[in-house]
Amino acid sequence: MVIAQTPGDQIWDIEYFKEPWTTIGSVSNSFPVWITILVFGFLLKQKLNIAGTLISIVGLSGLAHVILDFFTHADDAHQHFWPISSWRFESPFSYWDVDHNAAFILPIEGLIVLLSSYLLWRRTSVKFYKVLLALSIFIGFVMLLSPIAILIAR
């Protein structure tokens, strides 16, 4: 695979800003796209309950991602209103870039991951889901503690 042989710096500093990644980022981070999927799921739910519910869940998940993404991308902002507009909101905050307050954002995202994982943990009794949620809780703790590592490294 070509990506596996490409250094990380080249992927995130060069390739990420070229086609096809810019189009993939625009489509997958678009408010209009996820709202359309959500509305389609709600409409389909009237005739096909299970399929409509699943599509609605996917639409809500995508929309939740885009809302958080909108506020946590600085220099690497997406076209969140594609195909209506190519405008990009460059937030003063980034979930990964320490020059754009990542040490402040990561713990907030970590708390969101921990809270949502805990709430889902309480609602399920399926062991496989609990294993996945345990992994998610671990990731949440890493996100919560990562600013300490950032500050130590600086």
Q: Give residue-wise pLDDT tens across range 42-63.
A: 999 888 888 888 999 999 999 9
Q: What is the pTM of this model?
A: 0.75
The Cβ-side half-sphere exposure at 64, using a 13 Å CA radius, reads 10
Is the peptide bond between 7 and the residue preceding it cis, with omega within 30 degrees of 0?
no
Q: pLDDT tens for residues 75-99?
A: 899 999 999 999 999 999 998 888 8
* Buried/exposed 75-101: b ≥16 CB within 10 Å, e otherwise: ebbbbbbbeeeeebeebeebbeebebb
